Chain A
Amino acid sequence: MKLAFPSLKSEDKPILIASAFILVILSVGTAYTVSTQGSAPLLSPNYLLQQLQTGSFLGIVAAGMMVVILLGHIDLSVAWTMTAAAMMATTVGGDLAIPVGIAIGVGVGLVNGFGVAYLRVPSMIFTLGVDSVLRGLMVAHTGGFAPQDAATPLMRTLASSRLMGIPSAIFVWLAVSIVIAVMLKRTAFGRQIYVTGNREMAAYLSGVRTRRVILGSFVVSGVCAAMAGVMLAGYSARAFQGMGNAFLLPAIAAVVIGGTRILGGQGRYAGTLVGVILIVLLNSVLSIMQMPEAGRQVIYGAVIILMLLVYGRGGKVHS
């Protein structure tokens, strides 16, 4: 019955450790490049900004994922939500491209939220089914071929242009981050996410409309994934099958490395931000080292395990 209750301080611990680990990654990577190439690209602001630009897509997905994980749920449909939003946006084209893409995200979020909150199907399985349906719809939509429509200029601008020398994608990520962070910390909806994630029954009996909270959170996740998808299409100039597949697991990993409890109720947005940066930099260092895919996967898995072991371990017996 004695649970391990993390105090405020222990909530910050993962963020500090992950930040320290980012420094370790940077120094190891720099040591490597200095010794092999005699240069330190990892320390050049331009290179870092470029990495963060590619990381911004993951960052936006992870922001939405975190909101759902705070409820103790998970959104496995982000991969095809991204793809679907990107494909529909490029298909529609013109001024409506981005609104249509976002609307896809809202729609997917509503369906997910309805299944999880009202039908009470475990999110793990419902979002998996929705992912499969979206994949089917997109395959049917494109006939299985790569779609020919190109991203609109606005999409390209958002994803790959620069503003004051800084990639505009980073600004979008920043804006999303501020919205999510403020929402979690300063709005009733945000606090109700934590309350519901902590103990849904107590939240319900406190008069929190827990179903709407869950529905809303899945919409947030859907919209974030859709935005990331639309921007990724802008970055690659077009949408393509399976473009979101590489984002699901890193997004979950980033949220968890950032100290958000996978069972819900605890976690800070700053942690997710740090988690995304960690994963992005780890990836870039591994590419600089020309690590083969095999080694990357092993290192990737080992880092997640290691980080979580360092954070201190879960409570022992829950009664």
Chain B
Amino acid sequence: MTADHPIVQLSGVSKHFSGTRALEGVDFACFGGAIHGILGENGAGKSTLIKIISGVLQPDSGEMRVNDAPVSFSNPTQAVASGIVCIFQELSLVPDLSVADNISLSSPPRRFGLIDPRAQRRRAEKLLARIKCEDIDPNALVRELSLSRRQMVEIAKALGKDPKVLILDEATSALTSRDVETVYELLADLKAQNVASLFISHRMHEIEQLCDTLSVFRNGQHIQTFPKGTHSDGEIVRLMIGREVDAQYPPRPAPAPRPEHLRIEDLAWENQLNGINLSIGKGEIVGLGGLDGQGQKELLLGLFGVLRGMSGRVSIAGKPCRPKSPAEAKQGALRIALVPEDRKTEGLMLAMSIADNLMAASYDRVSDGPFINAAKAKRAVEDGIAKLRIKLGSPEDPVATLSGGNQQKVVIAKWLMTDPDVILLNDPTRGIDVGTKQEIYRLMRDLADQGKTILLYSSDYAELIGCCDRVMVMYDGEIVASLSGDAITEEAIVAASLNVSDTQTMPGLPHA
């Protein structure tokens, strides 16, 4: 670490959103030639912090300095001009433009005042080569690329802006392990060139492996900054949540024979599901593991009636299960519920009230004929709020006013109101705070104990290990390993994820 002046320095920065504080009197500094990790629960103020640094938001009060000169950015362009470049969690790519267009979006090479496509293409090739993504065609449209490729284009785009400060906000979450390695090497490169990197990730091990300095945020305040290795994991978690955490996961019951409820045979769809066989009992939590994009999400969507043209057999309680739509899946003998991946676009009607969101899946249950029974509706809503302990002002408030964790609770409550027998969860704890996560783990176990059948996909291996009775590891649309009991270990999941038979050699693996 360099002992000289910080590149970016914030003093006394505060930011409020319609009454709630997002940041309060934050002092923060980062230095060139260092990788600086930022930790905190959701709503701790990390996102607000980096948005202020990168010019997306303007602070209500306080001062920001770059290289000792006071600055006030009114938009991201000004921040980029000062060398501050951010790779955002929500992709900043334009899907209908080509990769080359995107990489040079705001300041393309020009000839006679017009964009020069050839120079632009060469520039894209050069930047992509730097992150070992020669396989990406600069002429391809971004919408034709997979999520992980897009993320790499995003990184190339940021590199093209010649950053002095590079901010990575969950930038690795969508990447393949090979790309993650490339990004790590890149960060090391940049460090050698005296670039400051700010690294935000929910994956603790990533932060531990990469960062030199860690800063913990909680509740809009900067709690502490310390060099790596001076605090244990437990201490860091305590700093983050500000209280002692007892057992993170509810205890797993002893394995017992359970009556089969959901049975899947030879399920196949396009190239993404290649003959899935799986049987889940009543009261059992089965996890789906593996690298991202191995068919886990498709399996859940397929069971829920979203995919067309599936082959194979699915039965629930011995009866064939072939819903053609979520509307059929939730009804009758099937009683399936799905907590979708992206709560903001798939789970919630953000501008509508909490009550409307809660009832969205169960209007038939609160109606007499075509008419909604106001008393039943009120009772159902109160019930849902109570069951998940959703913290809210009034059920008539827009659901968007809730925190991420409480929004996710609304999605789950919405489905519990349909009294499902089979509950499918697609990464339900992604991007929510530790406290709510634990409540959700607890809830899942409770539901299982009530005899529900639960199929959980999670990108967080620790979650699979902590919550599931069995874990199915998927690879290339197939289940390649079935782990249960004490055999569910990180090593076993990781090995199976890569479809290697043993665990001895896995160089460069982020999880190993």
Interface residues of A (CB under 8 A from B): 1-3, 5-8, 186-189, 191-192, 194-195, 198-199, 201-209, 265-266, 319
Chain B stretch 343-378: residues in CB contact (< 8 A) with chain A: 345-352, 356, 359-361, 363-364, 367, 370-372, 374
Question: Contact partner of B372 among A8, A187, A202, A205, CB < 8 A?
Answer: A187
Please tell me if B112 contacts chain A, counting CB pairs below 8 Å.
no
**Docked CA distance A194–B330 (Å):** 20
Binds A, one of B93-101, B277-285, B396-404: B396-404
Please tell me if B33 contacts chain A, counting CB pairs below 8 Å.
no
Question: Contact partner of A209 among B90, B306, B327, B345, CB < 8 A?
Answer: B327
Question: Contact partner of A205 among B338, B352, B374, CB < 8 A?
Answer: B338
Question: Contact partner of B400 among A5, A186, A188, A207, CB < 8 A?
Answer: A5
**Docked CA distance A266–B371 (Å):** 20
Within the complex, the shortest CB–CB distance from A300 to chain B, in Å, comes to: 30
Question: Contact partner of A188 among B329, B364, B397, B398, CB < 8 A?
Answer: B364
**Given A195-B356, A209-B325, residue A202 in contact with residue B371 (CB < 8 A):** no
Asked if residues B348 and A199 are in contact (CB atoms below 8 Å), the reply is yes
Asked if residues A188 and B351 are in contact (CB atoms below 8 Å), the reply is no
Query: Which are the 6 A-B pairs with shortest beta-carbon distances?
Result: A188-B363, A198-B349, A207-B330, A206-B360, A206-B361, A207-B326
Asked if residues B349 and A191 are in contact (CB atoms below 8 Å), the reply is no
Asked if residues A202 and B345 are in contact (CB atoms below 8 Å), the reply is yes
Within the complex, the shortest CB–CB distance from B409 to chain A, in Å, comes to: 15
**Given A7-B398, A192-B363, residue A204 in contact with residue B349 (CB < 8 A):** no
Question: Contact partner of B351 among A1, A206, A208, A265, CB < 8 A?
Answer: A265
Asked if residues A205 and B363 are in contact (CB atoms below 8 Å), the reply is no
**Docked CA distance A192–B370 (Å):** 12
Question: Please, which residues of chain A bring their CB within 8 A of the CB of B418?
Answer: 207
**Given A5-B401, A7-B397, A191-B359, residue A205 in contact with residue B347 (CB < 8 A):** yes
Please tell me if B414 contacts chain A, counting CB pairs below 8 Å.
yes
Interface centre among A6, A8, A191, A204 (most CB of B within 10 A): A191
Interface centre among A8, A201, A202 (most CB of B within 10 A): A202
Count of A-B contacts with CB under 8 A? 91
Chain B stretch 481-498: residues in CB contact (< 8 A) with chain A: none
Question: Please, which residues of chain A bring their CB within 8 A of the CB of B326?
Answer: 204-207
Within the complex, the shortest CB–CB distance from A182 to chain B, in Å, comes to: 8
Asked if residues B397 and A199 are in contact (CB atoms below 8 Å), the reply is no
Question: Please, which residues of chain B bring their CB within 8 A of the CB of A319?
Answer: 90
A-B contact pairs, 17 of them (CB 8 A): A3-B351, A5-B400, A186-B374, A188-B364, A188-B372, A194-B349, A194-B356, A195-B356, A198-B349, A199-B349, A199-B350, A202-B349, A205-B338, A207-B326, A207-B330, A207-B418, A319-B90
Question: Please, which residues of chain B bring their CB within 8 A of the CB of A7?
Answer: 397-398
Question: Please, which residues of chain A bring their CB within 8 A of the CB of B371?
Answer: 186-188
**Docked CA distance A208–B398 (Å):** 20
**Docked CA distance A212–B282 (Å):** 34
Within the complex, the shortest CB–CB distance from A30 to chain B, in Å, comes to: 40
Asked if residues A208 and B349 are in contact (CB atoms below 8 Å), the reply is no
Interface residues of B (CB under 8 A from A): 17, 90, 304, 306, 325-327, 329-331, 338, 340, 345-352, 356, 359-361, 363-364, 367, 370-372, 374, 396-398, 400-401, 414, 418
Closest to A190 in B: B372
Within the complex, the shortest CB–CB distance from A241 to chain B, in Å, comes to: 38
Closest to B47 in A: A1
Closest to B364 in A: A188
Question: Contact partner of B360 among A2, A6, A203, CB < 8 A?
Answer: A203
Within the complex, the shortest CB–CB distance from B333 to chain A, in Å, comes to: 15
**Docked CA distance A198–B350 (Å):** 8
Question: Please, which residues of chain A bring their CB within 8 A of the CB of B360?
Answer: 195, 202-203, 206, 208
Asked if residues B361 and A266 are in contact (CB atoms below 8 Å), the reply is no
Asked if residues B370 and A206 are in contact (CB atoms below 8 Å), the reply is no
Asked if residues A202 and B356 are in contact (CB atoms below 8 Å), the reply is no
Asked if residues B327 and A205 are in contact (CB atoms below 8 Å), the reply is no
Closest to A6 in B: B351
Question: Please, which residues of chain A bring their CB within 8 A of the CB of B361?
Answer: 206-208
Question: Please, which residues of chain A bring their CB within 8 A of the CB of B370?
Answer: 187-189
Question: Contact partner of B348 among A189, A202, A266, CB < 8 A?
Answer: A202
Interface centre among A187, A207, A266, A319 (most CB of B within 10 A): A207
Within the complex, the shortest CB–CB distance from A25 to chain B, in Å, comes to: 31
Closest to B370 in A: A187
**Given A195-B352, A209-B325: 8 more A-B contacts, CB < 8 Å:** A186-B371, A187-B367, A191-B363, A202-B360, A203-B349, A206-B361, A207-B329, A265-B351
Within the complex, the shortest CB–CB distance from A284 to chain B, in Å, comes to: 36
Question: Please, which residues of chain B bring their CB within 8 A of the CB of A6?
Answer: 351
Closest to A209 in B: B327
Asked if residues B352 and A265 are in contact (CB atoms below 8 Å), the reply is yes
Asked if residues B347 and A198 are in contact (CB atoms below 8 Å), the reply is no
**Given A202-B347, A206-B360, A265-B352, residue A191 in contact with residue B396 (CB < 8 A):** no
Question: Contact partner of A206 among B331, B372, B414, CB < 8 A?
Answer: B414
Interface centre among B90, B327, B347 (most CB of A within 10 A): B327
Question: Contact partner of B356 among A2, A191, A204, A205, CB < 8 A?
Answer: A191
**Docked CA distance A134–B360 (Å):** 37
**Docked CA distance A199–B359 (Å):** 15
